[in-house]
Structure 1
Amino acid sequence: MARSLAPDGAFATVDGVRLHYHYHRVPTQKQSDPVLVFLHGASGSAYDTRLAFEAIYRGRSPVLFVDRPGLGFSERGRDEHVPPAGQAHLIAGLLDELEIETAVVVGHSLAGSVTTALGLAAPERVKGLAFLAPVTHVWPGGVNWYYSLAALPVIGWLFVWTLTLPVGERLAPAMMRNVFHPDPAVPDYAGAIRLPLLFRPHSFRANAEQICSVKEAVRTQAARYVELSQPALVVTGTEDTVVWPSIHCEGLIRDLPDVETLLLDLAGHMPHHTHTTDICAALDRLVTRVTAKEADGLSKGAPETLQPA
């Protein structure tokens, strides 16, 4: 099935790595206008964030949807591109390639760690940060056994070339019910996000490597979150059982200097699909905050550090 799926976006090569993306400009767009940059979570691709946001924003706000390295139709790159900082390096290069001067990065789940890494690595370009049910801090425990197995140097390749498809197809229905709980999954969600792309051996392994690398990465990154002076938005559902809000979202609220919170009652781990209208309103407010801060900085001749919200 995956062989019948073909890329429908554009490609750019950054640091030798081919990245797949969809960039929708608007007719009146100026170079300095904020661009919403959507980064999908683990076990998916940009088709997930496009499904939630593309129809809403296309034509009224510039938006960029990126297949993170190794997933969708983007190449994995080298080993240094696997952790959040390495992914952020490539995505920052893509922003430069596309001449995006003001990015508001929106990261879901695991991409929360890439969002913080981007904000730390390229603050001159990444002017706003939004976190949807994010992974950003160290949590107790490990990851699912099949990710640990798939990420191993030798046996991992054997696993992904022989068992990924049957194991993935068996686990997929339960995984989708779990991530959307307590809401029902979006109808034909697997088809809409082209889930078979994940079960290609190289994609499943890249996904596993990223999942297995993120815990140690955020252990280091979290100590620097106080440096993230950009206006930020943290969105969490009270019923998220995939990523614990009490660790990640509360950690961001504690660590970020300028943060707004959107708490969604009875929402699970996929709020961008189940509470899209609320999130878009919050993103619009974030863009307004970014624009105001940029204008204020220009009027004063120097960047301003805002106080906590």
Structure 2
Amino acid sequence: MALSRTSSSSFRPAVAVVAGGAVLLAATALVNRQLARKAERANPHRGKFIDVDGVRLHYVERGSGRPLLLLHGNGTMIEDLQSSGLIDRAAEKYRVIAFDRPGFGHSSRPRGGVWGPNEQADLFRKALERLGIQRAIVLGHSWAALIAVALATRHPALVEGLVLASGYYFPTSRLDLAAPSVPAIPVLGDVISNTISPVLARLMWPTLLRKVFGPQPVPGKFAGFPVEMAVRPSQLHASAEESAMMVPMAGAASKTYREIKMPMVIIAGEDDRLIDVEQSARLHRMISHSRLRRIAGAGHMIQQTNTSELMAAVDEVASISVQGARDPARVITADR
């Protein structure tokens, strides 16, 4: 009986700790949900919506002329492209369409499926078709470079030319992706992304900015980026899924690169601390007609820090495409 009483008395504190922890997690999840709703009210959508295959896509359309599709990287949204000035600059010459990719910004990301580069490429093809666009120059930054590649290989008639910026193209050992991928784990990931992740994301935000912008400082124009939108549980979950699939998806995509025939400019920062510039150099060596632009002293966020150079890459692809249309036999000289 004494042993039974001892076991019972030691069991009660354990139950209390578990119950207290559950209550704390539930309260944290409730607070995070309220903060997410507050963020969405404070940052209303600036564009329009289109429903494609059960996905509600938010997009911004500006300018007129040859269509230019802009695809943002992992963890960001249209506001990244808008605050950089890229949308405004491009709209002076092109019909610019920029989407919040599934799960980011104001776009939905239905659960129960895989939203890899191929699936997103198919989605954007249908969205562009609905918008009356049959052919477009495609710019993909960072993770979205793989989506741009998927559009080029799966729907080549749609893609007039490619601008691939700060992309990851070949699988490597990336232990740094382990922690960011945890919220993508089924069930456990939902708990983490709704409780712990938003808190940690807020605390780590300054460190993250130093990494993605370094060695350059964070430009003043980025100050208006809605951090509170980026640390919502739903967006953190989407970001975790893309972190988890980055290496395997790059491995799968690397088997298709030689199929790309349209004009391509690859652009990357020499001092990118997130993705080694050698990724871009290797892709350039594989695709003989591509052109490579390495930006000295630049980091990962070249759309923010080197907007003019990125805009010049778009114009370069557009020019190559026009020259090719005039003379289909023309050989595109690759810059080594």
TM-score (norm 2): 0.83
For residues 202-243 of structure 1, the C-alpha deviation after alignment (integer angstroms, 9 at most, x for no partner) is: 111011101111211121111110000110011111111100
Find the aligned partners of 1:229 and 1:196 in 2 and give their Cα distance.
41
Matches of residues 1-309 of structure 1 in structure 2 within 5 Å?
1-4=38-41, 5-26=43-64, 29=65, 33=66, 35-52=67-84, 53-187=86-220, 189=222, 191-246=223-278, 248-297=279-328, 306=331, 309=334
Of 195-204 and 150-159, deviating more is 195-204
Unaligned runs of 5+ in 1: 298-303
Change (3 A) 1:252 1:279: same
**CA distance in structure 1 between the partners assigned to 2:49 and 2:298 by the alignment:** 35
Judging changes above 3 Å, is the alpha-carbon distance between structure 1 residues 225 and 12 closer, same or farther for their aligned structure 2 residues? same
- Percent of aligned positions with the same letter in both sequences? 27
Contact 2:163 2:313 in 1 (8 A): no
Q: Which runs of 5+ in 2 are unaligned?
A: 1-37
Deviates more, 1:265-274 or 1:135-144: 135-144
Instruction: Give the alignment's Cα RMSD to 1 decimal.
Output: 1.8
Greater share of helix residues, 1 or 2? Answer: 2
CA shift, 1:305, in A, is: 8.5
Deviations 1:10-49 (A, max 9, x none): 11111121111111132xx4xxx3x221111111111111
CA contact 1:88–1:117 (8 Å) conserved in 2: yes
Distance in structure 2 (CA, Å) of the matches to 1:94 and 1:136: 25
Q: Is the 8 A contact 2:265 2:316 kept in 1?
A: no
Q: Conserved in 1, the CA contact under 8 Å of 2:71 and 2:140?
A: yes
* Preserved CA contact (<8 Å) 1:84 1:214: no
1:193 Cα shift? 2.5
- Aligned residue for 1:62, secondary structure, equals strand
Q: Per-residue displacement from partner, 1:136-172 (whole Å, max 9, x unpaired)? A: 2112233434322101001111111111221011010
TM-score, scaled relative to structure 1: 0.90
